Structure 1
């Protein structure tokens, strides 16, 4: 794949902090990709994320669906989201990016930001919506916007549907890999890094599927219990940033160092927080059989062959966490309605099919799931280009 179509760095005139936008590819003149905010965010990081979005969109291409995948893009802001300056900085960034968002970049929540916050800041920046660039592609804009608005209003057990579908997709990816290996749910142990939107929903779906969550990590450290954690109690004790109130812990729960989740006695490891969490050094501590990338780019490229040599299978982010993005478009374009059960069923069906194709391709090619996913993308991009033209 060639380099990105657009890459820019923005410097805030008040704080000197930087923000980034990378558009990797356009399809029908539009690209999709969220906006993250974290201290230390870099242009290289955003470039990799934008490339990943191109892959996620292509992997969900179905010629028979109403949703036609877009191109890939990503935004990033180098700031701690807890900083008092974070929200005004977000508004100024969106105001600076307004021409791109109005014309070809659809964006939304990512690491460090919630959709509510993005929506509020977008309105303050003078935008109609953070996804308004896609509106000209809709058959009935008013009906599509109503459907998406109604879907965002749906709650399941007090949690918004938009916060749950991504975790549903991650869990289904893990469950499909277990089924592929003939491993039963009962007795399978899981450790997660991150209990925010993605990590929390993943923990809930895996726990309800019969797996045992033995460790979770947040910004304060790792909470572990070899007999299994009470996932619902931990979720209820989270703050807005996914940090668990330690007063909610049970007598058997232990507080461990922040990186103890890596070496937890678990079969499935789910990094669901930051990028670059697993590197060539700390990968040696992992004893899990599967790493399921709920976060974007959590396993560094140099660590993956070392993990593979030890029999650890990495299910890549471009497949595993693609459900959230796809759900937005399935709903907006009308493949599904504003209904939780329909959303979960469609997500499970799509993710199961995608993971099965990826694993079958990996087996046939004698390669890793990530290489297999990239091969599937390489097959689909020319087909999409032939149908919709090239915007590079």
Structure 2
């Protein structure tokens, strides 16, 4: 792994809590990557995520597109987002990072933070926008900003388009894998860890495609039903943190321990919550055929190696959950308009192409899908650098 361009740690002068920023790479002088807030967030974690963002950006490089992929970056704050001090810590972190946000780093919601909270804190910190560093690269800044604002105002069945874009990409990744394997959607069972923004949207799109969601896990435990859960009812009962109101459960729904989603009888597992969830020990409990990484870095490398020997395919986060980031830029740069139908069509087409490329290469070379994704990135980064330079 290459050394990141910038790596720093900030200490809050009020609470002593720490925040991190890693800019892995700049393209045209700008990088892209969300800001997460969770207790225990480390610099190493943020560095890994920043490297992943470099890869996600490169994977969506299209020489004909208006959107030109940026470099990769990530921010992280070691604080429980539910802590009463959390918002004030966030504002102070953003003030400290102001020079980077103004010029080099575009950011947005990630684990523990919603875009609404980020936007409010950004304004309080005296910044124009969490993505203002990219504005100088736009042909028509006013029109681009209005287009993105319009897109964020779109709702589909009461859920914001910004919350659905990523899950649409994850679901399309699952469907592409099923199609390649000749597995019908009907009767295919799915277990999802996390019913927040990404997990909830993924579950919705997969259920709409005809798959059966047989287990979902949140902070209270796992809800399971071998006959399939009522996904819409569970989604409607969630609180702001993705926790399901147990009053919404039906007679056949069982409440199981928090890690029961791992061993659910399902063909597809979707870890969509926290990093480092599947390790060398608990991977032995998994019987699914595919693990589709909606979360960032949920499968540890040693676990992935063991799963590969067992014939279980891990579709990696750098591909699977990249649609949220790409949707932002496709919209801002003008590759798509603000509407939901156009967004979903573009996401599905782009993700299917990308997943097909990855799985074809993995099969041809006898390597994991992650290794195949890394190989595609290794091919594309020099092309991007040749066209735009290494930094500026």
With normalisation by structure 1, the TM-score equals 1.00
1:333 matched residue in structure 2: 333
SS in 1 for 2:82: coil
How far apart in 2 are the matches of 1:357 and 1:302? 25
Q: Deviations over 1:174-201 (max 9, x none)?
A: 0000001110000100000000000000
2:179 matched residue in structure 1: 179
How far apart in 2 are the matches of 1:124 and 1:139? 28
How far apart in 2 are the matches of 1:58 and 1:314? 20
Q: How does 1:229-240 map to 2 (within 5 A)?
A: 229-240=229-240
2:134 matched residue in structure 1: 134
1:351 matched residue in structure 2: 351
Alignment pair present for 1:61 and 2:61: yes
Q: Deviations over 1:3-51 (max 9, x none)?
A: 1000000000010000000000000000000000001000000000000
Q: Deviations over 1:252-290 (max 9, x none)?
A: 000000000000000000000000000000000001000
Runs of at least 5 residues in structure 1 that lack an aligned partner in the other structure: none
How far apart in 2 are the matches of 1:27 and 1:365? 30
Q: How does 1:58-207 map to 2 (within 5 A)?
A: 58-207=58-207
Shift of 1:366: 1.1
How far apart in 1 are the matches of 2:162 and 2:96? 27
How far apart in 1 are the matches of 2:334 and 2:240? 31
2:265 matched residue in structure 1: 265
Q: Deviations over 1:281-322 (max 9, x none)?
A: 000000100000000000001100100111100000000000
SS in 2 for 1:10: strand
2:378 matched residue in structure 1: 378
1:367 matched residue in structure 2: 367
1:274 matched residue in structure 2: 274
Over aligned residues, Cα RMSD in angstroms?
A: 0.6
SS in 2 for 1:276: coil
1:15 matched residue in structure 2: 15
With normalisation by structure 2, the TM-score equals 1.00
Shift of 1:2: 1.9
2:212 matched residue in structure 1: 212
2:324 matched residue in structure 1: 324
Q: Deviations over 1:311-349 (max 9, x none)?
A: 100000000000000000000000000000000000000
Q: Deviations over 1:181-228 (max 9, x none)?
A: 110000100000000000000000000000000000000000000000
How far apart in 2 are the matches of 1:76 and 1:146? 28
How far apart in 2 are the matches of 1:248 and 1:82? 24
1:295 matched residue in structure 2: 295
Shift of 1:89: 0.5
SS in 1 for 2:191: strand
Shift of 1:363: 1.1
How far apart in 2 are the matches of 1:333 and 1:356? 25
Shift of 1:233: 0.1
Shift of 1:391: 1.8
SS in 2 for 1:234: helix
SS in 1 for 2:269: strand
How far apart in 2 are the matches of 1:117 and 1:330? 23
Q: Deviations over 1:337-384 (max 9, x none)?
A: 000000000000000000000001111111110000000000000000
SS in 1 for 2:72: strand
1:3 matched residue in structure 2: 3
Shift of 1:139: 0.2
SS in 1 for 2:222: strand
How far apart in 2 are the matches of 1:338 and 1:259? 39
Runs of at least 5 residues in structure 2 that lack an aligned partner in the other structure: none
How far apart in 1 are the matches of 2:124 and 2:333? 26
How far apart in 2 are the matches of 1:19 and 1:240? 23
SS in 2 for 1:364: helix
